[in-house]
Amino acid sequence: MDTRQRMLEMIRARKHGFTLQQPFYIDPDFFKLDLELIWYRDWLFAGHDCEIPKPGCYFTLQVGAYPIVVLRDRDGNIRAFHNSCRHRGSRVCAAHKGATARLVCPYHQWTYDLDGSLVYARQVSEGFDKSGFGLKPVACETAGGYIFICLADEPKDFAPFRETMEPYFLPHRLRDARVAYESTIIEKGNWKLVWENNRECYHCAANHPELCKTYPEAPTITGVDSVDNDPELVAHWDKCEAAGLPSRFTIDPNGQFRTSRAPLVRDAVSYTMTGKPAVRKRLSDGVTADRIGALLLYHYPTTWNHVLGDYAVTFRVLPISATETAVTTKWLVHKDAMEDVDYDLKNLIHVWTETNDQDRQIVEENAFGIQSPAYEPGPYSEMHEGGVMQFIEWYAASLEPRLTDKAGARLKSVA
């Protein structure tokens, strides 16, 4: 039986409300199918508009086998390309981020303009047609200050996500923000374990003392069930929407993305040890309401987010192997906020730096235990792990039709 058929049979035989079978978390061949059927087909969060504020600014990322460069062109448009020279395939941009007038391959100096076109190829044959050797484009869209890419030849329509997300996020003006700090940690666990851990706060009280000072543990905050029946949550939505901030829970019909605004505990206004603001200069000048809580956004398979009144913290998940995942966290502040004047960096990042490391340890212990021959799927808590079950339902529902369609969506080649 080939891996595709094996995965399909396990998807169809899985027990609702239970964890997945062991191969989904540790098998390299299952991981390759995850890449092919999800990561190379769906829209993925890459970064923020504000990270590339001027023409020539760029950043790079790696999605499975694909190195990608995202940049702002001379007209101010955001583009993405396969970061692979059309000469002999060398990576063109090796740096994590930077700024340049043109993209020059370090190997033989083939040079590309910011629209991806090849403008110079040194000492090639007479009559060489440069027009056929520009960098290969990657589908790229923006929404509310977020940049998404898609590796499929025929990406799904991005408009439904933009139309849902932007009314919530535009008031916070993240396009005009600034990244105050960025960190990437490698968690030694499958990307799905990273998401499962994120989608519940069942573990928070015992593992996240810093976060629990401000973040509520209520299942309605992390889950998807009965959210409209939580009176505290509904009252918070009513208050924020009266101030002109869309806040109510909304979810994609296919379950891939959702957003809502959640209150923080007691009188807290920010994720700090005291609950007081971490940044003196508010993130968005136009949002003046107090105690707006956290605007939450989840988009599988790459990102979860918390946007507060004083700063935003965004997370990007990228798979490395069947048992390794990179989690990148960025703290965004008002573009004019100055370190040591408007905020203390240690205070700004403390809660989530600690929480990220605690989650890394949790995921790694989870991954270690799953490798045991004695492991078998266990039941989720219906009270606390509804968000996890929803993630697994999305994953299974996404995979099944793609596993049965052997032709699949064609992928752009970097060859």
Q: Is the pLDDT of residue 135 over 60?
A: yes
- Tens of pLDDT, residue by residue over 334-365, are 999 999 999 999 999 999 999 999 999 999 99
Write down the pLDDT at residue 200: 95
Of 399, 318, 303, 415, nearest in space to 36 by CA: 399
Which CATH fold would you assign to the domain 44-150? Rieske Iron-sulfur Protein (2.102.10)
**Beta bridge pairs of residue 304:** 298, 315
**CATH of region 159-370, choose from 3.30.465.10, 3.90.380.10, 3.40.800.10, 3.40.50.11810:** 3.90.380.10
- Tens of pLDDT, residue by residue over 17-74, are 999 999 999 999 999 999 999 999 999 999 999 999 999 999 999 999 999 999 999 9
Q: Is the pLDDT of residue 140 over 70?
A: yes
Mean pLDDT within 384-399: 97
How does DSSP classify residue 133?
A: -
Instruction: Report residue 369: phi and psi, to 5°.
Output: -70, -35
Q: How sure is the predictor about 1, in pLDDT bands with cuts at 50, 70 and 90?
A: confident
CB 179, CB 330: distance < 8 Å:
yes
Domain ranges of the chain: 44-150, 159-370
Mean pLDDT within 192-219: 95
Q: From CA 403, how far away is CA 30, in angstroms rounded?
A: 12
Q: From CA 207, how far away is CA 202, in angstroms rounded?
A: 10
Q: Is the pLDDT of residue 120 over 90?
A: yes
Please tell me whether the peptide bond between 301 and the residue prior to it is cis, using omega within 30 degrees of 0: yes
For the record, the structure tokens of 69 come out as 């460069």
Q: Is the pLDDT of residue 397 over 50?
A: yes
Q: Is the pLDDT of residue 308 over 50?
A: yes
Q: How sure is the predictor about 407, in pLDDT bands with cuts at 50, 70 and 90?
A: very low
Note the pTM of the prediction, 2 decimals.
0.95
- Tens of pLDDT, residue by residue over 58-116, are 999 999 999 999 999 999 999 999 999 999 999 999 999 999 999 999 999 999 999 99
User: Furthest-apart CA pair in the chain: how many Å?
Assistant: 74
Quote the radius of gyration of the chain (alpha carbons, Å).
22
Mean pLDDT within 126-130: 91
In degrees, rounded to 5, the angle at the alpha carbon of residue 324 between the alpha carbons of residues 320 and 325 is: 70
